[in-house]
């Protein structure tokens, strides 16, 4: 196989994965907004987040991988898995602050941590 064909196939694969990340992100946002109305949506949100994580690993993009872990933490919280969610988001915040050093991911992770704690408190108050 020629190097030009290899480069073309590689570019097509990256474009395909990037498009799927964009589509899954849109779908994840929709599921996140609906997840408080029905448990099925929360479960679908977790599935989408896990698919994003797998795609980000395939792309080998550390910022995407980090963001996917943030989304997984949020999805765990919407599925009432608060301990796992807090553990994951805490590890991710540490990773972002000390290794990744990405301001956008840091702001998103901080906001999601606040959201997880709010959801946990809401669940405690409802019990």
Contact call for residues 89 and 116 (beta carbons, < 8 A): yes
Contact call for residues 68 and 56 (beta carbons, < 8 A): yes
Q: Which CATH architecture has domain 3-126?
A: Alpha Horseshoe (1.25)
Contact call for residues 70 and 91 (beta carbons, < 8 A): no
- Token pair 């998103």 in the structure block, residue: 108
Q: Is the whole-model pTM more than 0.95?
A: no
Dump pLDDT digits (tens) for 44-72: 999 999 999 999 999 999 999 999 999 99
* pLDDT of res. 25: 87
3-state secondary structure of 109: helix
Dump pLDDT digits (tens) for 16-51: 778 888 888 888 999 999 988 889 999 999 999 999
Contact call for residues 124 and 85 (beta carbons, < 8 A): no
């Amino acid at each position: 196989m020629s190097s030009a064909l290899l480069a073309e196939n590689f570019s097509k694969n990256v474009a395909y994965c990037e498009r799927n990340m964009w589509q899954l992100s849109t779908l994840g946002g929709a599921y996140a907004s609906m997840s408080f109305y029905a448990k099925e949506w929360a479960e679908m949100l977790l599935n989408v987040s896990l698919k994003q994580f797998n795609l980000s690993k395939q792309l080998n993009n550390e910022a995407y991988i980090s963001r996917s872990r943030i989304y997984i933490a949020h999805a765990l919280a919407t599925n009432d898995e608060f301990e796992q969610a807090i553990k994951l988001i805490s590890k991710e915040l540490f990773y972002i602050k000390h290794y990744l050093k990405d301001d956008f991911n840091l702001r998103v992770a901080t906001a999601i941590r606040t959201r997880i704690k709010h959801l946990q408190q809401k669940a405690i108050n409802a019990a």
